Structure 1
Amino acid sequence: MLDDLKVLVEIESPSLDVEAVTTSANAVGAMIERHLGGDVRLVDSPVGPHVHWSGGGEPKVLLLGHHDTVFPIGTLAERPFRVEDGIATGPGVFDMLGGIVQALHGLAALDDLSGVEILLSADEEVGSLHSRDLIEARAAACGNVLVLEPSADGGALKTGRKGCGTFDVVISGRAAHAGLEPEKGVNALVEAAHQVLAIATFARPEVGTTVTPTVASAGTADNVVPAQARIRVDVRVESADEKERVEAAMAALRPVDPASTIEVNGSISRPPMPESASATLFPLASRAVPGIAGYAVGGGSDGNFTAAIGVPTLDGLGAVGGGAHADSEHLVVATMPARAALVANVVAQLTHPSSTPGV
């Protein structure tokens, strides 16, 4: 597993870098064929190939993940793949190359892979715009989804996820000399300050809704009244009702200064994954590993899409570690065999209910 993990980590695959993602897809496809046999299908897209494999027969379970990562080319030179004191490090090792490797080794231990499909998208880290239709189609065909995203703290599974999205608020005013005639300007930065305060009130933490202005920019020079400002807003919700409420509130933003204008773009693009989505699958994981924990988390994944169309979905079956998207990203090596066996066990229960390999 560590040899395979090293191969994938050392092929940098930042989202939207089509050449790099294509190299990654070819390597992942070859690895799947080597471990599981059969033929991999590379599904072309504007952002690079998605990787799809089927074990044949009537589809019963989809193993879902992604092979793109968040780190730019060159990160590997700064943080090369290493294994020291039982910890593996390197860009993408935890999110989510380790989960891919574990799943392949787990599945390779099963005698019969009929009914099993694998889909690894090329654009999960940037919203899955070009893979969502394919993900939903294969999830609906298979009827069960196991998501190979990293585990929650301590190896816990993810039984629910918040819906999430980003809004872009653009405020237009009018430039003027800040010292000679500021009254002739319309200050987009001042208007943005009003809007930030208004947007922050849309949060309802008591029901799990967070609305967080995260990035702001305005102005061109220190002696010019800013003619434009931009605010980015991160939103997380637990229910469809809250999704609709926040989207409506963002769309209804109006300027305090009528001489300025506001344009709002964006949406809550990943619908919530309610904990009910994992109700039939989490017991299978508990049967495989008695006492394994599971809880809802704030981040989104492609499992949000499959749960939203009514397909049973269990997330967080990937690597155990931490530091996703950060320089501290790491994977706990000792946990890899058990996580591989967990995936194999749950898959076997879904495809061949009479077979329950040990963990």
Structure 2
Amino acid sequence: MLDDLATLVGIESPSREVEALERSAAALSSMIERHLGGTCRLIDSPAGPHVHWSGGGEPEVLLLGHHDTVFPLGTLEARPFAVTDGIATGPGVFDMLGGIVQAVHGLARLGDTSGVELLFSSDEEVGSRESRELIEERARACGNVLVLEPSGDGGSLKTGRKGCGTFEVVVTGRAAHAGLEPENGVNALVECAHQVLAIGAIADAALGTTVTPTVASAGTTDNVVPASAHVVVDVRVESAAETERVESAMRSLVAVDPGATIEVLGGIGRPPMPESASASLFPLARDAEPGIEGCAVGGGSDGNFTAAIGVPTLDGLGAVGGGAHADTEHVVVETMPARGALVANIVGALVG
């Protein structure tokens, strides 16, 4: 497992870096074929190749993940793969290359993998725009989805996820000299400040809805009334009703200054994954590993898509560790064999 993990981490695979993702897909395909036999299919897309493998027979379960990571090219030089005191580190080791390696090794224990499919996309970290249709197609065909995203705290599985999305609010005003005639301008920065307060008020903590302005910019220099400004907004919701309400509220933002105009871009791209989506699969995990816990989390994954189309989905079956998307990203090595066995036992129960 560690040898395979070192190989995958050693091939940097940032989202949108197509040549790097091609190298990653080739290495991943080779690893899968070496352990499971058969031939992987590389599905080209503008975001890079997706890796698909089938064990043959009537499809019954899809193991879902991604081989793109969030770390830019060059990160590996500063932070190469390493194992120290039982902790594996390196860019992408936790999210989610460790989960891929565990699952492949776990499936190799089964011998017969008829009815099993693997799909590892190349653009999950940037919204899955190029892979969503394929993911939903294979999920419908297989009827059950196990998502190899990292586990929750303490190794818990993820039985529910919030829907999530990003909006950008663009404010257009009118420039003027800030000292000579500011009254002839329309200050986009001031208007943006009004909008930030209005946006924050859309949140509803009682319903688990967060609406968080995260990045803002405005203006060109210190003696010019800003003619433009924009703010980026992160949104998380627990229900379809809140998705509709928040999107409607964002589209209904109105300028306080009649001279300003507002444009709202983006939306909630990942629908919520209700805990009911895992109702038929989580008991199989409990049978395989008594006492394992489940949790609902705020982050999204491709499991949001499969759950939203009504396919039973259980998430968080990947690595145990922490520090996703950070320099502290790590995997607890001693948990890897058991985690691979957990995936294999659930798959074994599903394919009989």
Q: TM-score range by the shorter chain?
A: over 0.9
Deviation of 1:179 after TM superposition, in Å, equals 1.0
- Where does residue 10 of structure 1 map in the other structure? 10
Counterpart of 2:307?
Answer: 307
Q: Does 1:254 align with 2:248?
A: no
| Structure 1 match to 2:346 | 346
Percent same amino acid among aligned pairs?
77
Partner letter of residue 137 of structure 2? A
State how 1:1-359 maps to structure 2 within 5 Å: 1-352=1-352
- Match of 2:268, SS state, is strand
Q: Deviations over 1:193-213 (max 9, x none)?
A: 000000000000101100000
Per-residue deviation, 1:283: 0.1
Q: Which amino acid in 1 is paired with 2:156?
A: A
Question: Structure 2: how far apart are the matches of 1:78 and 1:212?
Answer: 32
Q: Structure 2: which amino acid aligns with 1:115?
A: G
SS of residue in 2 equivalent to 1:158: strand
Letter in 1 for 2:58: E
Using the alignment, how far apart are the partners of 1:40 and 1:265 within structure 2?
38
> Following the alignment from structure 1 to structure 2, what is the Cα–Cα distance between the partners of residues 180 and 327?
49
Is the partner of 2:12 in helix, strand or coil? coil
Instruction: Find runs of 4+ consecutive structure 1 residues off by over 2 angstroms.
Output: none
The amino acid that maps onto 1:339 is R
SS at match of 1:300: coil
- Tell me by how many angstroms 1:164 deviates: 0.2
Residue 111 of structure 1 and its aligned partner are, at CA, apart by 1.8
Superposition deviation, residue 313 in structure 1 = 0.1
Give the drift of 1:64.
0.1
Match of 2:269, SS state, is: strand
Deviations 1:37-94 (A, max 9, x none): 0010000000100000000000000000000000000000111101001100000000
| Offset of residue 227 of structure 1 | 0.5
- The 2-side partners of 1:202 and 1:124 are apart by 27
**Structure 2: which amino acid aligns with 1:8?**
L
Rounded to whole Å, the distance in 2 between the matches of 1:53 and 1:68 is 17
Structure 1 unpaired stretches of 5+: 353-359
What secondary structure, in the 3-state scheme, does the structure 2 residue paired with 1:233 have? strand
- Which residue is equivalent to 1:356? none
Look up the SS of the partner of 2:96 in the other structure. Answer: helix
Question: In structure 2, what is the Cα distance between the partners aligned to 1:171 and 1:127?
Answer: 25
Q: Specify the SS of the correspondent of 2:339.
A: helix
TM score, norm. by length of structure 2: 1.00
Report the Cα distance in structure 2 between the residues aligned to 1:155 and 1:186, rounded to whole angstroms.
53
Report how far residue 167 of structure 1 moved: 0.1
Q: 1:71-122, CA deviations, whole angstroms, 9 ceiling, x for partnerless residues?
A: 0000001111010011000000000000000000000011210000000000
CA drift of 1:288 comes to: 0.3
The 3-state SS of whatever aligns with 1:301 is: coil
- Give the whole-Å Cα distance in 2 for the aligned partners of 1:244 and 1:10: 42
**How far, CA to CA, are the matches of 2:3 and 2:86 in structure 1?**
14
Residue 180 of structure 1 and its aligned partner are, at CA, apart by 1.1
Question: How many Å separate the matches in 1 of 2:312 and 2:38?
Answer: 26
Q: Give the Cα–Cα distance (whole angstroms) in 1 for the partners of residues 21 and 183 of structure 2.
A: 51
- What CA deviation, in whole Å up to 9, does each residue of 1:157-216 have, x standing for no partner? 000000000001000001111111111110000000000000000000101100000000
How many angstroms apart in 2 are the aligned matches of 1:75 and 1:230? 30
C-alpha distance in 2, partners of 1:341/1:214? Answer: 40
Specify the SS of the correspondent of 2:11.
coil
Q: Can you give the 5+ residue segments of structure 2 that lack an aligned partner in the other structure? A: none
Distance in 1, matches of 2:86 and 2:16, equals 32
Distance 2:350 2:28 in 1: 25
Residue 3 of structure 1 and its aligned partner are, at CA, apart by: 0.4
Letter in 2 for 1:293: E
C-alpha distance after superposition, 1:262-308 (max 9, x if no partner): 00011100000000000000000000000000011000000000000
